[in-house]
Amino acid sequence: MDVSRLLAPLKSVFGYDAFRPLQREIMEASLAGRDVLAILPTGGGKSLCYQLPALQRSGLTVVVSPLIALMKDQVDQLQAAGVAATFLNSSLSAGEARSRLSGLERGEYKLLYLAPERLFLPDFLQKLKRWQVAALAIDEAHCISEWGHDFRPEYRQLATLREHFPGVPVTALTATATERVQGDIVAQLHLSDPGQFVASFNRPNLTYRVMPKQRPRRQVLDYVAANRDASGIIYCQSRRAVEDYAAALKDAGHKALPYHAGLPQEERVRNQEAFIRDDVQVVCATIAFGMGINKPNVRYVLHADLPKNIESYYQETGRAGRDGLPAECVLLFSGGDIAKYNHFIDQVEDEQAARIARQQLRQMADFAEFADCRRGALLRYFGEDYTKTNCGSCDNCLDDREEVDVTVECQKLLSCIFRINQAGFPMGLNHAVDVLRGSENLKVIGKGHQRLSTHGIGKDQPAEYWQGLGKQLIQRGYLRQSDDGYNTIELTPEAGQALKERQKFRMKPIRTKMASPASRAKAKSGAIECDEGLFEVLRKLRKDLADARGVPPYVVFGDV
């Protein structure tokens, strides 16, 4: 099949640059008229697997979904993208339902979302048959199986669909990967010789490494020199960095070319071709490079700057080792990059967008600072259940330092956050660490945290140590950060259990690297430090202001 036929609407309608794993294969099979069973992890992009083909077919694609609440969202999004989609469910007024039905009668829609029970209302199937059904998609298909985690009896009736729509291709989608459920879905929906696609995000031939970014130019030059004959991509954040690295590499005698959207089109094409033909070994590039390029023998991808989110990191590192042979993904990481991006994000006007960007950046930073298996962290991000404790091919799994007992430290941090939660003070990890270390930071004191019994019990370790430990505990599921962009930290039930049972904790020694000058400056600007005398004065001032205005003291304090 002509792939561009799918790529063009992928970009123009949905705004995506590339397919997620197996999306393209699933669509191709379905468009070729086959039944399909698609197992993609949560967030793997299952919706697109029926939405995009629906645009390619003449006639109606019927989507069965149990999640009435989500139907409207999906349909709204599709309509916003200019796709003629609609849904029918019990939430509609009679008039609205009638008008949608006549639209369907006139063949005005490409996609129709339905709850399963709708299908079997009297006469509905008769209508549906008149509407030229071109394809059927069964979302959350595990609901048909009692072996799944969400069995719904209504789904059982779908077993008869095949009889009513012979020859109409059925695509069943789920994130449940057990074989039993898969077999059940195929049998109950009477899928005939279905194409079965089970996605994993794991790329076993890739090794993941993160190195502290100290002298990036030297590090990049050394890395390329050590991999002299190998094909590699160096990703940088700015065009200027791209040009600088490419020039430095050339000076050092390497065959390297730049690639970014600021170069003339011909030069970009030329440089890309040269790389693909192995005329040059290294391309220094912005994220503009790589889309639609399928060069199998890229042996390394080196990120000289932090990617903005894990999704990009995964996509970009994913360009290494397409041939299945070992390849390496190296990330140079410093706190300075985070401070720099946060500064950019601060300029973003759309609050929601800024919040999302901040959260994605935090997740990316968490990944970079993670001390356990990076492959596991990546796969869990994509909703995959990766249970191996040592993947054998990431820097942390290859790190053979002995684990040490950190039970006391974990107890201190967890109990401090427990007290903070209990007192009802929402705050992020770094502020919690401030409390733990007994900071006199006014933001903290002003809210009364100094009265918590755990205030100051962690003076014996630097802030970086506790932050590192906190990140470990997040990754291990003892702490969790809110997903609303505020990163509020709280204990999970596992942590409560661990504290109660005095569970032992062992970890590789926490690395406490010096914070970069930029991130130190950032940290300072957010906090006023002062001595006791001045503090007393401020405390009185605060009280006077509070009395005068009749508001709780801490609100006034924030304004000082």
Site residues (vs ligand ADP, CB under 6 A): 16, 19-20, 23, 40, 42-48
C-beta closer to Zn ion: residue 19 or 313: 313
Instruction: Specify whether the CB–CB gap between 384 and 202 falls below 8 A.
Output: yes
Report the residue number whose CB is nearest to ligand ADP: 45
C-beta closer to ligand ADP: residue 137 or 249: 137
Residues between 120 and 149 with contacts to Zn ion, criterion CB under 5 A: none
* Residue bearing tokens 């997740």: 363
Instruction: Specify whether the CB–CB gap between 258 and 271 falls below 8 A.
Output: yes
431 makes contact, choosing from Zn ion, Mg ion, ligand ADP, none, with CB < 5 to 8 Å by partner type, with: none
Structure tokens at 442: 């006014």
Smallest distance, Mg ion to C-beta of residue 47, A: 5
> Which H, E and C letters describe 358-417, residue by residue?
HHHHHHHHHHHHCCCCHHHHHHHHCCCCCCCCCCCCEHHHHCCCCCEECHHHHHHHHHHH
413 makes contact, choosing from ligand ADP, Mg ion, Zn ion, none, with CB < 5 to 8 Å by partner type, with: none
432 makes contact, choosing from ligand ADP, Mg ion, Zn ion, none, with CB < 5 to 8 Å by partner type, with: none
Residues between 471 and 530 with contacts to Zn ion, criterion CB under 5 A: none
Smallest distance, Mg ion to C-beta of residue 382, A: 14
Q: Which of residues 85, 280, 284, 394 is near Zn ion by CB under 5 A?
A: 394
397 makes contact, choosing from Zn ion, ligand ADP, Mg ion, none, with CB < 5 to 8 Å by partner type, with: Zn ion
C-beta closer to Mg ion: residue 70 or 523: 70
C-beta closer to Mg ion: residue 136 or 442: 136
Structure tokens at 117: 């029970």
Structure tokens at 500: 């109660």
C-beta closer to ligand ADP: residue 45 or 53: 45
C-beta closer to ligand ADP: residue 43 or 462: 43
Q: Does residue 375 bind Zn ion (CB under 5 A)?
A: yes
Pairing state between β 327-333 and 298-303: parallel
Smallest distance, ligand ADP to C-beta of residue 52, A: 9
Residue type, 142: H
C-beta closer to Zn ion: residue 330 or 394: 394
CA torsion, points 287, 289, 291, 295, in degrees to nearest 10? -130
Smallest distance, ligand ADP to C-beta of residue 124, A: 25
246 makes contact, choosing from Mg ion, Zn ion, ligand ADP, none, with CB < 5 to 8 Å by partner type, with: none
C-beta closer to ligand ADP: residue 42 or 482: 42
Dist CA 135 CA 61 (whole Å):
5
Dist CA 294 CA 62 (whole Å):
34
Size of the site for Zn ion (CB under 5 A): 5
C-beta closer to Mg ion: residue 46 or 419: 46
Q: Does residue 373 bind Zn ion (CB under 5 A)?
A: yes
Q: How far is CA 288 from each of CA 243, 271, 312, 322, rounded to the nearest angstrom?
A: 14, 13, 12, 19
Dist CA 275 CA 283 (whole Å):
7
The phi, psi pair for 490, rounded to 5°, reads -150, 160
Determine the interface stretch with Zn ion among 38-46, 102-110, 390-398, 443-451 (rule: CB under 5 A).
390-398
C-beta closer to Zn ion: residue 60 or 206: 206
Dist CA 418 CA 432 (whole Å):
10
Q: Which of residues 60, 62, 377, 391 is near Zn ion by CB under 5 A?
A: 391
The phi, psi pair for 491, rounded to 5°, reads -75, 145
20 makes contact, choosing from ligand ADP, Zn ion, Mg ion, none, with CB < 5 to 8 Å by partner type, with: ligand ADP
DSSP string, 288-309: TS-TT---TTEEEEEESS--SS
Terminal C-alpha separation, the chain:
66
Q: Which of residues 46, 358, 362, 419 is near Mg ion by CB under 5 A?
A: 46
* Residue bearing tokens 């994509």: 382
Dist CA 456 CA 440 (whole Å):
10
Smallest distance, ligand ADP to C-beta of residue 111, A: 14
43 makes contact, choosing from ligand ADP, Zn ion, Mg ion, none, with CB < 5 to 8 Å by partner type, with: ligand ADP
- The site for Mg ion (CB under 5 A) is made up of 46
- The site for Zn ion (CB under 5 A) is made up of 373, 375, 391, 394, 397
